[in-house]
Amino acid sequence: MKIQAINGFKDILPDSVGRWQHIEQRARDIFERFGLQEIRMPILEKTELFVRSIGEATDVVEKEMYTFADKGITMRPEATASIMRAFIEHGLHVQQPVQRLYTIGPMFRHERPQKGRLRQFHQLDAEIIGAVEPRIDAELIAMGQMLLDELGLRVNLELNSLGCPVCRPPFKNRLITFLAQKSDGFCEDCKRRTHTNPLRVLDCKKPACRALVQEAPSLLDALCPECDRHFREVREALETLGIPFHLNRFMVRGLDYYTRTTFEFLTTDLGAQAAVGAGGRYDGLIEQLGGPPLSGIGFAMGLERIALLMEQQDAGKCSQNAMDVCLAALGTNTLAPCSLLAHTLRKQGVKVALDYSGRSLKAQLKQAGRVNARYTLIIGEDEWARGEGILRNMATQEQQPFALTGSPEEQGRRLMDTLLPATP
Ligand code: ATP
Ligand code: MG
């Protein structure tokens, strides 16, 4: 029996890796324009970190974590908790009171695998820690929107506020009263959540639950004056930056640590996997994990969903790795000089394809086409003896003589001079 990958764990093959690299490069480029610095954390953390941050009664902690029960460690289901752990452990705020950080990497959740939902998936994660101003919220959201725009994607931005420890608990009580009255109509999960995590009922996707919560009290009407002002200023700051959004008073994030501003970038093009990215403010989290009383805001985007959406919405073609030149060596005596020329060119920064099979010119030209070579330099025994190869432009099929005189370095520079003007 052949051994296959585990269900929900997927290979990213060379023909789609170009798209992944493109997304990652765009993300790094944009995040760095906003002053974010990369941080990389381990994949395993103490289980307690996630239980204390994400929350015991959340789906992620209740049923989705890969935990090594006997060792008390878990494969990270998301990045924010790990970043906060590292932030506190290394006292990053001491060097710089406002930290702007990002990370890119795999996350693990035991969910039912489907399109855009995997057990190992990848996130782009961005955080601004140590600042509470509403314009920070707007700046971070605008950064996420800029990335999706530059990738050529169409998404909708939805916005909500989840209040704070002052206004949320009394609201929760009112909500529980409302939910308990209508209890019969809710699904089993929501009946349970009414007491463990009542806010979560508001964004249950089941139609019956959705209909029932339409009349539920809204947290947006129950915000305390500080949260109300903060949220108003976030909306104004987004308007200043020209970022369109919709208010969604039913949006509740699946992680407990969120406070105040929460947001999601949504699409209707990926079926049930509607969220391309999501995030929000987590003002009490760092203190709750034993750090200083600093606030923060962040988002995570799913790389698989971005890549799928790019395909679906036909955004930005990502060409495969194209070679600059293919050396077609014909005849055994040309192999040694061609291998030295290829090696020299590669040292000089040129992407070179060369095979040692001594196949026919026709076969080698075909191969040059497969690796998207822009040029093929044909060197047969006659050409080598004459000191003059044939340089073929693969797009126009035009051919010109190419002098094989001087040292390999000189030949390499001459070839680069010939190729460079044609570089787009
Ligand atoms: P969903 O509602 O789709 O389960 P979520 O609220 O659990 O998403 P977050 O924890 O906020 O998602 O993670 C942020 C982003 O990470 C999501 O918007 C999504 O793009 C991606 N993501 C989350 N879980 C998965 C998964 N199992 N497979 C692929 N991508 C995922
Ligand atoms: Mg989820």
Outline where 14-154 has alpha helix (H). Answer: 14-33, 47-54, 59, 80-89, 92-95, 134-150
Contacts for 94 with CB less than 8 Å, ≥ 6 apart:
none
Q: Which ligand is nearest to the CA of 77?
A: 1
- Rounded Cα distance between 214 and 85, Å, is 38
Burial class (CB in 10 A: 0-12, 13-18, 19+), 345: buried
Distance between Cα 167 and ligand 2 center (Å): 26
CA 60 / ligand 2 centre spacing (Å): 7
In a 13 Å sphere around the CA of 145, the CA atoms on its Cβ side amount to 18
Task: Find the residues whose C-beta lies inside 6 A of ligand 1.
Answer: 78, 109, 111, 116-118, 121, 123, 254, 273, 275-278, 300-302, 304-305
Judge contact between 374 and 362, C-beta under 8 A.
no
What is the position in ligand 1's atom list of the atom closest to the CA of 279?
11
Q: Ligand 1 centroid vs 305 CA: distance in angstroms?
A: 9
From first CA to last CA, the distance across the chain in angstroms is 49
Read off the tokens for 387: 């000191």
Beta carbons within 10 angstroms of residue 216's beta carbon: 17
Separation of alpha carbons 331 and 337, rounded Å:
11
Entry pTM: 0.90
The DSSP H or E segment spanning 408 is helix 408-419
Distance CA 10, CA 117 (A): 11
Q: Which ligand is nearest to the CA of 302?
A: 1
Q: Whose CA is nearest to atom 14 of ligand 1?
A: 300
| Residue in this structure with the two tokens 């047969």, named with its chain if needed | 380
Give the residue whose CA is nearest to atom 11 of ligand 1.
278
Per-residue pLDDT 10s for the chain (424 aa) are: 899 999 999 999 998 999 999 999 999 999 999 999 999 999 999 999 999 999 988 889 999 999 998 899 999 999 999 999 999 999 999 989 999 999 999 999 999 999 999 999 999 999 999 999 999 999 999 999 999 999 999 999 999 999 999 999 999 999 999 999 988 899 998 998 898 889 989 988 889 999 999 999 999 999 999 999 999 999 999 999 999 999 999 998 877 788 999 999 999 999 888 999 999 999 999 999 999 999 999 999 999 999 999 999 887 666 667 899 999 999 999 999 999 999 999 999 999 999 999 899 999 999 999 999 999 999 999 999 999 999 999 999 999 999 999 999 999 999 999 887 655 5
Q: Answer yes or no: are the C-beta atoms of 273 and 150 closer than 8 Å.
A: no
Instruction: Kindly give the distance from the C-alpha atom of residue 205 to the centroid of ligand 1, in angstroms, as a whole number.
Output: 15
Which residues touch 355 (CB under 8 Å, ≥6 apart)?
364, 367
What H or E segment, with its residue span, contains residue 378? strand 375-379
The backbone torsions φ and ψ at residue 105, rounded to the nearest 5 degrees and listed phi first, read 175, 180
